[in-house]
């Protein structure tokens, strides 16, 4: 085809906006969170002359990440094909089964990989797949029944995926098809009105609330959509003052007066949402589920491998805030000199922003919003899940975040 009217990045921006509008209609507390985030950012910019050091206020205000969860390898492959039409590619492999309190999923994040694309629109989606092959969480009988349930559903229709593949290879689409394509893509993540099978959902919940959220229902949905703020401590206090109960702590590095690194996140639990249930006698009743929540994040400078080792060591301390200054210098100059963080062309006034996630925070965010824990059985893990398994399954290279930061650091700021 001739040059597309609507480019991939414009489709990505529209997709992010469509999901935001849809999620706001589904979860009203999200709209409150976005409003408070915008107020925090406005006030921060007004009082901090260097507020733009981690990104323009336009980018930060428009910035969101989403989280979705799927059940089967084929579903993950469809997600990869769909997101490629928005210029979002898999970056990083996160194994949340390895967390101190395990969650039975393996994950990646779909996002733009080039700094210039991130600058145009940085939308990213943390995507998790249920680890049904891992015998520590699913015995053979349950695994068989979950896989059978999953094989009967179809999260994305084949026309949508075929259109996505075409758009990805054409680098965009015609103006008259863009709106419809974005609307159909967003609709695939809407909360289903189909009744939930009460007994099946309850059986899965007993094993893992995440398993129920993923495989207890016939479709997938946005689990959360996260705005970015420039001062997450301020956000936390403002939300608490509005009577919204936040989780106990901000996840990730502590607040301090030196350069912010990586990612700090916090969340609140969404209110019960109305859902319809199919009971044992086939009657449909009204009920509620509390699964979805609101999350917010603040991003800092990306750490090098050496910086990340420091980070992990500091976080392993009983009180990271108390010892942070023993691990990290107080200025970007020193961070750059010691090779702890990425800066564009070595210029300490030009941090490279961290664009990825943190497995410990991710596991913490997952779990803080669940009612029940998952017990892992003491059997060997024979699932074979790892980054190579995932890459082979979806038929795509999974980018190493460090390779991307190395490349970005060679470039002038976008």
69 or 275, CB closer to ligand OOG? 69
Cα 328 to Cα 53, 130, 198, 332: the distances in Å are 19, 37, 51, 10
Q: Of the candidates 67, 212, 214, 335, which one interacts with ligand OOG according to CB under 6 A?
A: 67
Q: Of the candidates 41, 205, 220, 265, which one interacts with ligand OOG according to CB under 6 A?
A: 265
Q: Of the candidates 295, 332, 355, 356, which one interacts with Ni ion according to CB under 5 A?
A: 295
Distance (Å, rounded) from C-alpha 59 to C-alpha 123? 10
Q: Which stretch binds ligand OOG (CB under 6 A): 168-176, 180-188, 230-238, 356-364?
A: 356-364
- 128 makes contact with ligand OOG (CB under 6 A): yes
Contacts 24+ apart (CB under 8 A), 213-219: 213/69, 213/291, 214/69, 214/70, 214/71, 214/105, 214/128, 214/130, 215/71, 215/130, 215/132, 215/146, 215/149, 215/150, 217/192, 218/153, 218/192, 218/194, 219/153, 219/155, 219/188, 219/190, 219/192, 219/194
Closest CA to 127 of 375, 403, 379, 396: 396
Instruction: Work out what residue 69 binds among ligand OOG, Ni ion, none; the CB cut-off runs from 5 to 8 Å by kind.
Output: ligand OOG
Q: Of the candidates 69, 136, 310, 367, which one interacts with ligand OOG according to CB under 6 A?
A: 69
Q: Of the candidates 15, 126, 189, 268, which one interacts with ligand OOG according to CB under 6 A?
A: 126
- 365 makes contact with ligand OOG (CB under 6 A): yes
**Size of interface with Ni ion, in residues (CB under 5 A):** 3
- 67 makes contact with Ni ion (CB under 5 A): yes
- 123 makes contact with ligand OOG (CB under 6 A): no
Residues 160-219 that bind ligand OOG (CB under 6 A): none
Under 8 Å CB-to-CB from 409, ≥6 apart: which residues? Answer: 342, 343, 344, 345, 346, 352
Q: What is the CA radius of gyration of the chain?
A: 21
94 or 138, CB closer to Ni ion? 94
Q: Give the residues lining the site for Ni ion (CB under 5 A).
A: 67, 226, 295
Q: Give the residues lining the site for ligand OOG (CB under 6 A).
A: 67, 69, 126, 128, 223, 265, 295, 357, 361-362, 365-366
């Amino acid at each position: 085809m001739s040059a597309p009217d609507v480019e991939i990045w414009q489709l990505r921006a529209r997709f992010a906006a469509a999901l935001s509008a849809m999620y706001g209609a589904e979860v009203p507390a999200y709209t409150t969170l976005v409003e408070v985030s915008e107020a925090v950012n406005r006030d921060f910019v007004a009082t901090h002359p260097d507020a733009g050091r981690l990104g323009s206020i336009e980018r930060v205000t428009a910035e969101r990440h989403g989280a979705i969860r799927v059940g089967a390898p084929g579903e993950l492959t469809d997600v990869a094909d769909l997101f490629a039409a928005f210029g979002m590619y898999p970056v990083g492999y996160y194994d949340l089964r390895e967390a101190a309190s395990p969650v039975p999923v393996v994950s990646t994040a779909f996002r733009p990989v080039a700094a210039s694309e991130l600058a145009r629109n940085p939308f990213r989606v943390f995507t998790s797949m249920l680890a049904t092959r891992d015998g520590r969480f699913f015995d053979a009988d349950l695994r068989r029944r979950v896989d059978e349930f999953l094989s009967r559903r179809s999260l994305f229709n084949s026309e949508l995926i075929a259109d996505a593949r075409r758009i990805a290879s054409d680098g965009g689409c015609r103006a008259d098809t863009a709106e419809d394509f974005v609307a159909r893509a967003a609709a695939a993540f809407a909360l289903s009105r189909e009744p939930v099978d009460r007994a099946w959902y309850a059986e899965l919940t007993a094993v893992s609330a995440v398993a129920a959220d993923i495989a207890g229902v016939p479709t997938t949905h946005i689990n959360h959509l996260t705005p970015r703020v420039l001062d997450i401590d301020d956000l936390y206090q403002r939300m608490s003052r509005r009577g919204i109960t936040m989780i106990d702590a901000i996840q990730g590095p502590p607040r301090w007066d030196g350069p912010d690194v990586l990612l700090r996140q916090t969340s609140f639990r969404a209110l019960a949402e109305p859902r319809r249930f199919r009971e044992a006698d086939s009657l449909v009743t009204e009920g509620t589920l509390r699964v979805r929540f609101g999350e917010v994040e603040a991003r800092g400078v990306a750490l090098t491998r050496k910086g990340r080792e420091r980070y992990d060591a500091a976080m392993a301390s009983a009180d990271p805030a108390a010892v942070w200054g023993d691990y990290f210098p107080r200025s970007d100059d020193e961070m750059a000199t010691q090779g702890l963080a990425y800066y564009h062309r070595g210029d300490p006034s030009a941090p490279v922003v961290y664009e990825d996630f943190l497995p410990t925070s991710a596991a913490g965010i997952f779990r803080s919003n669940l009612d029940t824990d998952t017990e892992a059985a003491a059997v060997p893990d024979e699932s074979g899940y790892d980054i190579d398994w995932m890459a082979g399954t979806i038929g795509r290279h999974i980018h190493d975040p460090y390779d991307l930061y190395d490349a970005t650091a060679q470039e002038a700021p976008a």
